Amino acid sequence: MSSTPPFITAPHLTHADGISHGFFGREGGVSSGEYNSLNTGPGSNDDPEKVKENRTRVAAAMGAADMDHLISLFQIHSPNVVYIDAPFAWGERPEGDAMVTDVPGLALCVLTADCTPVLFADAEAGVIGAAHAGWKGALAGVIENTVDAMVWLGANRTHIKAAIGPSLSQDSFEVGPDLKEPFLDKHDWSAACFRPGQSDRSLFDIWNFCEAVLTRCGINQISCVSEDTLTQPDRYFSNRYRVKHNLSDYGRNASVIMLDRK
């Protein structure tokens, strides 16, 4: 029998009736080497059978029927949102970076390794969402589009609760002018999310940016777990850590939300 890997939760979603969620790191799986141990990313070069076992463990931890009900997209750093109403074969997964559903038992799973996962739930309406908010997707509007898609399914903005998961903290997110300027051009208020670094570099607070976008979408129940992926290599997979330490590949962290099965 598969063991249950550890995960953390966010306060607002923990108190949402009929909702299961969890932010999983790298502990509690079967992968080895650079993928030690809960690598849930089939896009890595890890042994596919070990990734399947890891995803099975995550699905079980959420109460999903099986691994096929742990739903992930082919993520492309876009603002695209996909409505999910049934499981699909891994090779047939649609492109996109956010999902919404009103179907119980479907565990929406965002894969990250420094990008910011955001989970959403309107427990009253029975609508959930999950977004992969890397800086490209966040700038392009993936958070706003996820909220709009949930409203289309019947959610009420004032009832939606959101949780910002493990990703790069501001101290770990050094960027150049090529990233900062597009944010300032589109959102002049985002200047408060950048702190001066060395030379022309800045430190970007994507947690604050995501929270500000959520607030502007009418969401007022927001949690941030404040877990930095770069500086905790024993707890989380991190692409920036891979680059800094010349590793050949990296695993993926799973952030999952599900309407409980009836």
User: Would you say residue 113 lies in a domain?
Assistant: yes
- Residue 234 burial class via C-beta count within 10 angstroms: exposed 0-12, middle 13-18, buried 19 and up: exposed
User: Would you say residue 214 lies in a domain?
Assistant: yes
User: Would you say residue 36 lies in a domain?
Assistant: yes
Low-confidence stretches of the chain (pLDDT < 50) are: 1
Q: Looking at residue 15, what is its pLDDT?
A: 87
What sign does the CA torsion over 149, 150, 154, 160 have?
negative
Q: Looking at residue 1, what is its pLDDT?
A: 42
Residue 120 in contact with residue 99, Cβ under 8 Å? no
Structural domain total, the chain: 1
The per-residue pLDDT for range 12-46, each reduced to its tens digit, is: 999 889 999 999 999 999 999 999 999 999 999 99
Give the whole-angstrom CA distance, residue 156 versus residue 140. Answer: 23
User: Would you say residue 56 lies in a domain?
Assistant: yes
Q: Which of 67, 75, 71, 76 shows the shortest CA–CA distance to 100?
A: 71
Q: Looking at residue 3, what is its pLDDT?
A: 82
User: Would you say residue 178 lies in a domain?
Assistant: no
pTM recorded for the entire structure = 0.98
Query: For the chain, what percent of residues have pLDDT higher than 90?
Result: 95
Q: Looking at residue 262, what is its pLDDT?
A: 75
CATH number for 242: 3.60.140.10
259, 92, 39, 162: CA torsion to nearest 10: -30
User: Would you say residue 175 lies in a domain?
Assistant: no
Residue 82 in contact with residue 99, Cβ under 8 Å? yes
